[in-house]
Structure 1
Amino acid sequence: MKNVLKIIIALFATLQIQAQQMTLSGIISDESGLPLPGVNVVIEGSTKGAQTNFDGEYEIMVYKGDTVVFSYVGYIKEKKIITNLSTLSFSMKLDKEAIDEVVITALGTKRKKDEVTTAYQTVKVSDNSALKRRRGSPNSRKHQKVSRVKTKELKKANYPSVVNSLSGKVSGLTISNSHNGVNAGTRIVLRGNRALSGTNQALIIVDGKISTTKVLNKIKPNEIQTINVLKGASGSALYGSQAHQGVIVIQTKTGNYKLPKEVEAAINKHKAHNINSMETSQEVYVEIIENDFERTKNSPLSTFSIDVDRASYSNIRRMINNGQSISPDAVKIEEMVNYFDYNYPQPKDAHPFSIHTELAVTPWNAQTKIVKIGLQGKTFENKALPASNLTFLIDVSGSMSAQNKLPLLKAAFKLLVNQLREQDKVSIVVYAGAAGVVLEPTSGAEKEKILNALDNLQSGGSTAGGAGIKLAYNLAEENYKSKGNNRVILATDGDFNVGASSDKSMKKLIEEKRKSGVFLSVLGFGYGNYQDSKLEILADQGNGNHAYIDTMQEAQKVFGKEFGGTLYTIAKDVKIQVEFNPRKVQAYRLIGYENRLLDDEDFIDDTKDAGELGSGHKVTALYEVIPVGVESAYLKDNPDLKYLKSALTRGYADELLTVKFRYKKPEGKQSIEMVHVQKDIMQDISEDLKFASAVALFGMQLRQSSYHNNTTIEDVKLLAESGRGADKFGYRAEFIRLISSISN
């Protein structure tokens, strides 16, 4: 009887304990109410945890009385004691100690091996997150360096203050901004002097007098004659013990102050850094020759491959936010336009996409018309997508050590992993001095195992990109899923320097590998040595797409909002051919797509590779056309022909153009053709076309195009504001803020 009673009591206790266990869920957001992806949710004192998905949602099993810890880089760690609540949602608070820190480097500087100190990377502080601080090497103290900042470059960048203008210009400099009420201020620290307590700020000298960051903040770049930064013992030797943390020496134009001879000697002893050449000298872009107007009678056909890459916009956004000059060849207008979402109807027939066209007066030229051609790929819910065989190919070479490279990469990939299903499998291949497999094919149900493999990645070594690609494709082929989604996802800054590294050899390698049926997605990270040309070639030749990730918000867009399109191809080798009616169109110009042009005969040649369309993807192309009878300075006189006379076909008087599309199914070899006719009927310009035109016009201005018709940034802003529309995710608003920062 006693034994029975004991069993009953034990069962009752067990049931009571189990009754106290519950599922805790909620949404974690930032200070502005936007969801925070990648927040770590851990039960204190245990290894049990979870992460928020790209919508900020989490779910974890807890007991009453547990303390749950919420942590995210750049935000104050939150501890919540669980009572009887099953739902817990809140906004995290910014960590004022870390949020506005900027670590600065002179990008692209070449140094001998014995001169190398810990590399620092410029960190862009976004609205919603901040990146971890990086400590300097102890060896950095022994190097006496001097950096000279060219003030004419600062003026170009339109910085509001000298402190901001230093961003990205001097190696090993850290700028920390505090916004704590009356104690608000700025702290400037040179690398190697990162004591946790004590006065470790660099000495500031303005026109020969000791000054403060408060004064420095008030000086405008156009008031500066020179800025020199002295590190290590050089500062102490010139300015005494008060300068042992380094010196920033500033001469203003109105101060009539000359540097002492010994200071000039110390500066001249060291090689000054050329700021302008450092910004982009290591970044490589394919040359773009802008499309001109084509006379319809001479060339009625315009043929090109679609492009769903969006890397150019996020890359340009990074440059603008960092105050860098923008190479015209970095500006791919089609990628900028296609970064944004437009309201196109879903396909209703057997084809995997629908076609939409629109005709209106060109916003920047009343004498011409603008044509918008839009494709809408069929959208599949994630659960309806076929099983995936994904191989992550991750660059862990030394060039990936910066905070906005490998650390950001790992956080971004976690967003993808958290969406995988049991039937999906992931492998991880890394490459540095050599390539290797760090995770064999693993089910999406084993998320913790995949995440641990990502967490354990570290950078170091050279960049054997070719070997990594071969190994990743071999692994993908060994685990090939028939009728599944077989894809290699390459994440790198593109800095290949071992093995197959030239653009030509990489193209040949990928052309060979794509025959396996494995698709390729390419994700670019970081800057300073960003190799856009290689990454574009890899994506184009690998039947894939190319994106540039500069923040967690961009990672959320690529792996969250556009998950299906990023990973699942619904049509390949998609080509567009537009035939213009010479009765209506005197001349036309394709805006962008310069690197995607095809010969007219390529349109019906099924052996010619072209672009791919993913689930839910949209493609937008813009033409500017000059109607018949309109005089235009853009058109040159055409010589008369002796042997060939053009005869116009009768009929079709109401048609402006005919659009033809050809595509193959993902595993198909024969193209399917679609035809769409645009009548010569003018419409009131839609919000979508206004906004797309604003983005295209901005791109033309950045490229210093011959065709932007003397418009200004203010014209772009007004056009974008009138086309902002519903803007569900705020991307259009971000564009308006971006161009406003330039116009101001």
Structure 2
Amino acid sequence: MKKLLLLMMLLAAFTGFKGDAANRIITGTVTSADDKLPLPGVSITVKGTNIGTQTNAAGKYSLNVPDGTTTLIFTFIGYQHVEINIGGKNEINVALKGSKAQLSEVVVTASWLHVKQSSQGYKTTRYKSQPIVYGRTNNVAKALKGKVLGLQVTTANKGYFDYSAPAPIENDESYKGITENAFTSAASAPLSTFSVDVDAASYSNVRRFINNGQLPPADAVRVEEMINYFNYNLAGPADGGPVAIHTELSSAPWNTKHRLLRIGLKAKTIPTQNLPASNLVFLIDVSGSMDASNKLPLVQSSLKMLVDQLRPQDKVALVVYAGAAGVVLPSTTGDKKETIKNAIDNLSAGGSTAGGEGIKLAYKIATENLMPKGNNRIILATDGDFNVGASSDDDMEKLIEKKRESGIFLSVLGYGMGNYKDSKMETLADKGNGNYAYIDNITEARKTLVSEFGGTLFTVAKDVKLQIEFNPAKVQAYRLLGYENRILNKEDFNDDKKDAGDMGSGHTVTAFYEIVPAGIKDDYSVSVDPLKYQKNESKPVATSGSSEIMTIKFRYKEPVSSVSKMSQAVVYDKPVEFNATSTDFKFASAVAEVGMLLRDSKFKQKASFTHAIATARAGKGDDSEGYRSEFIRLAESAKLLTRSTELAKVDDEE
């Protein structure tokens, strides 16, 4: 009996040991063989399974593979697919080679895949989250059209294709319509006024589309948010104020007859230990629409990363809403991290979406725990699909506008795809004196809630406005790139009751103006007929500083003040050659150029992906986090997708 017991113990020990060895972690970095830069968004899958991951912004990946795994597959749009034998290696670094043949790649998205092998010579296989489509046909788009529910096919050429991508749910996303800013006459309208914006949700959302093999809807592309996704090397204020102003003037890279002015703002940086105590309320959407791997589970992982940043003097409560709203965790001090994380882990999705009731309850909890000199903020995590209660944008605006007067700000974290309501979430954040970020993966969560913790959650200047007065003697016309949803009336600049944007600790903001110098004749010159019922405006009077082309006025309020302060700066007509501009100027202008191309802007002029990519490479600078390299790869993928779409249209017409 003792021998039998000993044998069973040894067998159990052996079995347990083998179980521990049943999985191992493979790590590595994927780069481009052409220029050695990292490749973000590369898909790595275990051959013959649905196990996989993607590289992060620095091209790095980590994959837990089962025992017996022999091969990893590396795929990325515009590059040759590679299969690597794992062997006994725990680190596998791969350099992918570019391939023009990938221009014939087919981009497939579908809600559900129910297709059997047919005479056309194709078949589909669906795993839990990843459809894979194979085939050879004379016309892929026509062959698959109508054969797969919800299928969209974009093909650049005829012939063989082999493509896999995550399968989004049925597309019911919504975005606010954008009417681009046009060129404005400096003589008839010398003042340009807008609210500063530090949101960056549009960039990560655009990245999600491109990494999934699709071009984004034009209205999903907000140029200013793409530009301001990146950090820029600007000096903070040296005069004791909360924000410093910087300017840089050169030629416009897409039209060298025009000028491009960059206005850069840099908020003061407050060390974490000196930040005021926080009264936070996590408001979590746990409705049925959040029941997806890139929604509630990603929300939980994101918020737990934020919990790790909390200090003992901070407090956090947890409110959820589905068919009804409720308090899951009362306000709890930041040193009780295990308690807070357990409450987050216990969340599950199901039911309808009582968003209005959830927001009301969150404000109630925040008010009960108000810190008069602290940072009082609600953090809403949702896909924006409010369908029960106060659900219209107008209702939400009125509710948020009323509550923000109490000093409680609202930040919004957006998740998911398919039914994503960007328009609603942007509205909530704007009216709540908060910021708005789109979290498409855990790397983005770390950037937003860890790396940029202070800027995301701690306001140093609120109701920030800019007003630029152009000198008509030097400027014929001007155009603000982006900020279409932030334009203010000229009289709003001095109106302290008018809401505007906010800047957090260490935040940078960039705004570009494209300028048509006086005397230039082109398609964007602005002219009107002489007035009949009043005197025509006289010629502009040259100022004592005749080389002035504009004056920039900057207005803001301290976080706890209702009275604004103003500062100003003068810009002189002394442009530098584009090649002599800073790396930040080059890179930011490249992002703006790609944004215009993705929107198919009527003001893109001679912009091109080839030029923008080359400019971004020249402006990559010290890219320690890999975000600029990621953008370059994103622009290259967008270039391929754009060409594929154009060729597909021609192919369909045949």
TM-score (norm 2): 0.78
Deviations, residues 381-403 of structure 1 (Å, cap 9, x unaligned): 21111111000000000000110
Contact 1:342 1:688 survives alignment (8 Å): yes
| Distance in 1 of aligned mates of 2:572 and 2:522 | 23
Corresponding residue to 2:50 among 85, 96, 101 = 101
Equivalence for 2:219: 329
Q: Secondary structure at the match of 1:558?
A: helix
| Distance in 1 of aligned mates of 2:429 and 2:244 | 24
Question: CA, structure 1 residues 717+606, in 2 after alignment: closer, same or farther (shift >3 Å)?
Answer: same
Question: CA, structure 1 residues 208+549, in 2 after alignment: closer, same or farther (shift >3 Å)?
Answer: closer
Equivalence for 1:501: 391
What is the identity, as a one-letter code, of the residue corresponding to 1:648?
P
| Distance in 2 of aligned mates of 1:311 and 1:453 | 27
Corresponding residue to 1:305 among 166, 177, 195 = 195
1:671-710, aligned counterparts within 5 Å?
671-683=564-576, 684-710=580-606
Equivalence for 1:379: 269
Say yes or no: does 1:227 pair with 2:144: yes
Corresponding residue to 2:622 among 706, 726, 729 = 726
Say yes or no: does 1:522 pair with 2:418: no
Equivalence for 1:61: none
Equivalence for 2:487: 597
Corresponding residue to 1:648 among 521, 540, 551 = 540
| Distance in 2 of aligned mates of 1:472 and 1:294 | 44
Deviates more, 1:470-479 or 1:700-709: 700-709
Question: CA, structure 1 residues 589+682, in 2 after alignment: closer, same or farther (shift >3 Å)?
Answer: same
Contact 1:296 1:580 survives alignment (8 Å): yes
Contact 1:487 1:519 survives alignment (8 Å): yes
What is the identity, as a one-letter code, of the residue corresponding to 1:719?
T
What is the identity, as a one-letter code, of the residue corresponding to 1:76?
I
Equivalence for 1:64: none
| Distance in 1 of aligned mates of 2:200 and 2:123 | 48
What is the identity, as a one-letter code, of the residue corresponding to 2:478?
Y
Contact 1:287 1:329 survives alignment (8 Å): yes
Equivalence for 1:63: none
| Distance in 2 of aligned mates of 1:575 and 1:346 | 18
Contact 1:344 1:376 survives alignment (8 Å): yes
CA positional deviation for 1:607? 0.5
Say yes or no: does 1:535 pair with 2:425: yes
Structure with greater Cα Rg? 1
| Distance in 2 of aligned mates of 1:224 and 1:505 | 43
Contact 1:465 1:498 survives alignment (8 Å): yes
Contact 1:589 1:625 survives alignment (8 Å): yes
Q: Secondary structure at the match of 1:165?
A: strand
| Distance in 1 of aligned mates of 2:419 and 2:51 | 19
Give the count of matched residue pairs.
546
Q: Secondary structure at the match of 2:585?
A: helix
CA positional deviation for 1:576? 0.3
Say yes or no: does 1:571 pair with 2:461: yes
Q: Secondary structure at the match of 1:471?
A: helix
What's the Cα RMSD here?
3.3
Equivalence for 2:329: 439
CA positional deviation for 1:325? 3.8
Corresponding residue to 1:545 among 400, 416, 435 = 435
CA positional deviation for 1:635? 2.1
Question: CA, structure 1 residues 216+418, in 2 after alignment: closer, same or farther (shift >3 Å)?
Answer: closer
What is the identity, as a one-letter code, of the residue corresponding to 1:507?
E
Corresponding residue to 2:107 among 145, 165, 168 = 165
1:124-273, aligned counterparts within 5 Å?
160=102, 165-166=107-108, 168-171=109-112, 173=113, 204-205=117-118, 207=120, 217=134, 219=136, 223=140, 225-227=142-144
| Distance in 1 of aligned mates of 2:593 and 2:266 | 23
Question: CA, structure 1 residues 719+573, in 2 after alignment: closer, same or farther (shift >3 Å)?
Answer: same
Say yes or no: does 1:661 pair with 2:574: no
Contact 1:376 1:616 survives alignment (8 Å): yes
Contact 1:658 1:678 survives alignment (8 Å): yes
| Distance in 1 of aligned mates of 2:413 and 2:308 | 18
What percentage of residue pairs aligned between the two structures are identical? 51
Question: CA, structure 1 residues 132+455, in 2 after alignment: closer, same or farther (shift >3 Å)?
Answer: farther
| Distance in 1 of aligned mates of 2:122 and 2:493 | 70
CA positional deviation for 1:549? 0.4
Deviates more, 1:215-224 or 1:692-701: 215-224
| Distance in 1 of aligned mates of 2:455 and 2:221 | 23
CA positional deviation for 1:209? 8.9
1:273-352, aligned counterparts within 5 Å?
281-352=171-242
| Distance in 1 of aligned mates of 2:553 and 2:447 | 31
Question: CA, structure 1 residues 96+478, in 2 after alignment: closer, same or farther (shift >3 Å)?
Answer: same
Equivalence for 1:620: 510
Where does structure 1 lack aligned partners over 5 or more consecutive residues? 1-66, 79-93, 104-122, 134-157, 174-189, 191-201, 232-251, 256-277
Say yes or no: does 1:716 pair with 2:608: no
What is the identity, as a one-letter code, of the residue corresponding to 2:110?
K
Equivalence for 1:264: none
What is the identity, as a one-letter code, of the residue corresponding to 1:662?
R
Question: CA, structure 1 residues 646+611, in 2 after alignment: closer, same or farther (shift >3 Å)?
Answer: same
Corresponding residue to 1:76 among 25, 28, 37 = 25
| Distance in 2 of aligned mates of 1:210 and 1:573 | 56
Deviations, residues 530-561 of structure 1 (Å, cap 9, x unaligned): 11111011001000000000011100110111
| Distance in 2 of aligned mates of 1:504 and 1:100 | 47
Question: CA, structure 1 residues 588+520, in 2 after alignment: closer, same or farther (shift >3 Å)?
Answer: same
Deviations, residues 59-95 of structure 1 (Å, cap 9, x unaligned): xxxxxxxx9x999xx97399xxxxxxxxxxxxxxx99
Question: CA, structure 1 residues 203+281, in 2 after alignment: closer, same or farther (shift >3 Å)?
Answer: closer
Question: CA, structure 1 residues 396+129, in 2 after alignment: closer, same or farther (shift >3 Å)?
Answer: farther
Contact 1:361 1:685 survives alignment (8 Å): no
Contact 2:596 2:604 survives alignment (8 Å): yes
Where does structure 2 lack aligned partners over 5 or more consecutive residues? 1-16, 28-42, 66-99, 127-131, 149-156, 161-167, 641-654
CA positional deviation for 1:220? 7.9
Q: Secondary structure at the match of 1:658?
A: strand
| Distance in 1 of aligned mates of 2:391 and 2:291 | 20
Say yes or no: does 1:736 pair with 2:632: yes
| Distance in 1 of aligned mates of 2:572 and 2:222 | 29
| Distance in 1 of aligned mates of 2:207 and 2:342 | 32
Question: CA, structure 1 residues 98+495, in 2 after alignment: closer, same or farther (shift >3 Å)?
Answer: farther
Question: CA, structure 1 residues 562+732, in 2 after alignment: closer, same or farther (shift >3 Å)?
Answer: same
| Distance in 2 of aligned mates of 1:604 and 1:691 | 33
| Distance in 1 of aligned mates of 2:124 and 2:603 | 49
| Distance in 1 of aligned mates of 2:569 and 2:561 | 23
| Distance in 2 of aligned mates of 1:661 and 1:638 | 30
Q: Secondary structure at the match of 1:729?
A: coil
Say yes or no: does 1:451 pair with 2:341: yes
CA positional deviation for 1:575? 0.4
What is the identity, as a one-letter code, of the residue corresponding to 2:328?
V
| Distance in 2 of aligned mates of 1:459 and 1:417 | 21
| Distance in 1 of aligned mates of 2:171 and 2:555 | 39
CA positional deviation for 1:227? 2.7
Contact 2:286 2:296 survives alignment (8 Å): yes
Deviations, residues 277-311 of structure 1 (Å, cap 9, x unaligned): x9885111111000000110000000000000000
TM-score (norm 1): 0.69
CA positional deviation for 1:722? 1.2
Equivalence for 1:406: 296
Equivalence for 1:584: 474
Equivalence for 2:11: none
